[in-house]
Structure 1
Amino acid sequence: MAARHAVHPDHLPVIDGGRPPVVVVGDLVTDVVVVLSGEPAPGSDRPAAIRGRGGGAGANVAVHLARLGTPVVFAGCAGDDAAGTGLVAELGAAGVVPAVRTVAGAATGTVVSLVEPDGQRSMLADRGANLALQPGDVPAPTAGGHLHVSGYTLLDPRPRTAGLAALAAAAAAGCTVSVDPASTGPLAGYGVDRWLADTAAATLVLPNEAEARLLTGCADTPAAARALAARHPVAVVTLGADGALWASGELLVHRPAHPATVVDTTGAGDAFTAGLLSVWLADPDGDPVAALEAGLARAAAVVGRAGAR
């Protein structure tokens, strides 16, 4: 029988004297981070430092938001195993209110991140229980609140219904909405036109450079940012080592990345999202530079160590 941790989706907590929390919808996984040393050695051994940590794009954003002082509820699914129990406890310890359904007979998701000596990584994903997300798993939105949807929720037909229901409910309640497209490979397979239609009501979209070009067909990244800003009130495009772009209306703002010694880029985009949201949500009409700088600062802190948090 399925169980639920901490908060029922029909009873969203009210925090800070009536201010509704941010609701983050996405994956909760164990990240197995493999930091490789030396040169590739096909058919032989290669030294590596291997650690298991909490991960998942949605859960990462939620944890960073909580650590930055933003009230946040994370909605997702875990397996009925020790990994799921530990990950939910980790969310609570970080200050996140978990609305996590335990899926009987399912394994908690696992992502193996292979990190090269230059910090670049490739991912091997088994999403496990995350694929069982249902519309009833997501807390009902509260007027004046904010919904953040990790794009992975939309890119598979099983949790897609839950993601679409959350987006529709947030729009109906007058909430602001942010969406991260997630990854170019699954996004291309899902279909650009389909994704753009699904996320048409988003207030803020947060693609990386490759995703922005894929979504718009623009070869030039600033042009891609402007094209997305013609569809949404705000588009923020992350540029890796080159920083980030903010586009809204006729405004285009670039900020360079903060200096960092790169150890592992896993979760850098999630950290950036949380840093930017923590400032933007406090003052949506404020200075875009401040929001970008907050995101870039959080990303720089994360890439300087192994793991997404």
Structure 2
Amino acid sequence: MRPVVVVGDVATDVVVALTGDPAPGSDRPASIRTRGGGAGANVAVHLARLGIPVQLAGCVGDDAAASVLRAELAAAGVQPALRTVAGAATGVVVSLVEPGGQRSMLADRGANLELEPGDVPPLSQGGHLHLSGYTLLDPGPRAAGLGALAAAVTAGCTVSVDPASTEPLRRYGVDRWLADTAAATVLLPNADEACLLTGCTDAVDAARALAVHHPVVAVSLGAEGAVWAAGTALVHRPAQATEVVDTTGAGDAFAAGLLAAWLTAGREPDPVTALDAGLALAAEVVRRPGAR
């Protein structure tokens, strides 16, 4: 089994499931739960639960939340490689979930912005690096993300990258991001991110365009499923029927499910198997509140 190092954010998710109609200036009923989150941590936890040996490189604050998150990660089977940043707060993400499952996210990345190149553990020859795109989108942790990519190439590792989010990606600069991630073996954008990265208006066309530069591109399409592009091959799989309670973390679950299938398949991964594994895990996650 190839070992995986995940580099990305660790956070506490505050999931606010809203009910009733919007009531500006007044009260609105909600169900509020606190759970472990962070894009990097979500992928790491899912991979570990699927039997993949995984380390998570990140930063936490010197607060009670960090202790809770460390314990949760270890209980899930993740080997935490987390540096405590003195005087910093552990990241917090507030997810506002509307009836029907769509959500808006308010992020205070806290200690995650202090990630340094030395925080990333050595990569095993022939292993795998998964890099959360958020790591590249801020000046603080960017050097750590670029250093991890360079180390992966040197070690002969495969690399997967999730672009993370359209607005910070747009601010960062598409050309800059594409240059940073040119070594990625597997690119894992959603439809909006794929279109932003290519200028295409259709996500399938965007997948084809990105596959010119990366060996595998897997684009998640929400309710439309997902598409796999590799070379001239294109495979589409439908989403699995499920009740949608909260879409928080669906992309992270899709990435982890697909990667677990891809990493265990050997040299010739089956696109149908990989896509279906990602879509199955995403369907499981959206049935309940929280990212994992």
Aligned-partner Cα distance in 2 for 1:189–1:52: 30
Amino acid at match of 2:118: G
**Structure 2 counterpart of 1:32:** 14
1:290 aligns with 2:273: yes
> What is the letter of the counterpart of residue 93 of structure 1?
A
In structure 1, distance between residues paired with 2:49 and 2:154: 29
Match of 1:77 among 35, 41, 59: 59
- TM-score, normalization: structure 2? 0.99
Could you tell me which of 95, 108, 114 is aligned with 1:113? 95
Helix, strand or coil for the counterpart of 2:105?
strand
Question: CA 1:221–1:20 in 2, change beyond 3 Å: closer, same or farther?
Answer: closer
Structure 1 runs (4+) greater than 2 angstroms displaced: none
CA contact 2:217–2:228 (8 Å) conserved in 1: yes
Cα deviation for residue 202 of structure 1 reads 0.4
- Residue 273 of structure 2 aligns to a residue in which SS? helix
State how 1:99-138 maps to structure 2 within 5 Å.
99-138=81-120
- Provide the secondary structure at the position in 1 that maps to 2:245: coil
CA distance in 1, matches of 2:202, 2:112: 35
* 2:256 alignment counterpart: 274
The correspondence of residues 202-281 of structure 1 with structure 2, limited to 5 A, is 202-281=184-263
C-alpha separation in 1, matches of 2:263 and 2:103 = 31
Map 1:56-67; keep pairs closer than 5 Å: 56-67=38-49
Q: Secondary structure at the match of 1:105?
A: coil
1:181 maps to which of 153, 159, 163: 163
What secondary structure sits across from 2:16 in the alignment?
Answer: strand
Which residue number corresponds to residue 3 of structure 1? none
Is the Cα–Cα contact under 8 Å of residues 2 and 52 in structure 2 kept in the other structure? Answer: no
Superposed displacement of residue 20, structure 1: 4.7
Q: Give 5+ residue unaligned stretches, structure 2.
A: none
1:14-53 equivalent positions in 2, closer than 5 A? 19-53=1-35
> What whole-Å deviation, never above 9, does each CA across 1:273-295 have from its counterpart, x for those lacking one?
10000000111412110000000
Aligned amino acid, residue 51 of structure 2: G
Residue 179 of structure 1 aligns to a residue whose secondary structure is strand
Q: Deviations along 1:222-265, whole A, 9 cap, x unmatched? A: 11000100000000000001100000001000000001100000
Partners of 2:80 and 2:152 in 1: CA distance: 19
Q: CA deviation at 1:134?
A: 0.3
Q: Give the TM-score taking structure 1 as reference length.
A: 0.93
2:175: which partner in 1?
193
Partner of 1:299: 282
Report the aligned-residue RMSD. Answer: 0.7
CA distance in 2, matches of 1:296, 1:266: 14
Q: Distance in 1 between matches of 2:218 and 2:207?
A: 7
Q: CA offset at residue 188 of structure 1?
A: 0.2
Distance 1:209 1:219 in 2: 10
Question: How many angstroms apart in 1 are the aligned matches of 2:198 and 2:32?
Answer: 38
Matched, 1:156 2:103: no
Residues of 2 paired with 1:281 and 1:236: CA distance? 14
Q: Do structure 1's residue 167 and structure 2's residue 149 form an aligned pair? A: yes
Distance in 1 (alpha carbons) for counterparts of 2:164 and 2:122: 23
The equivalent position to 1:96 in structure 2, one of 74, 78, 89, is: 78
Give the whole-Å Cα distance in 2 for the aligned partners of 1:286 and 1:191.
Answer: 32
Q: Where does the alignment leave 5 or more consecutive residues of structure 1 unmatched?
A: 1-18
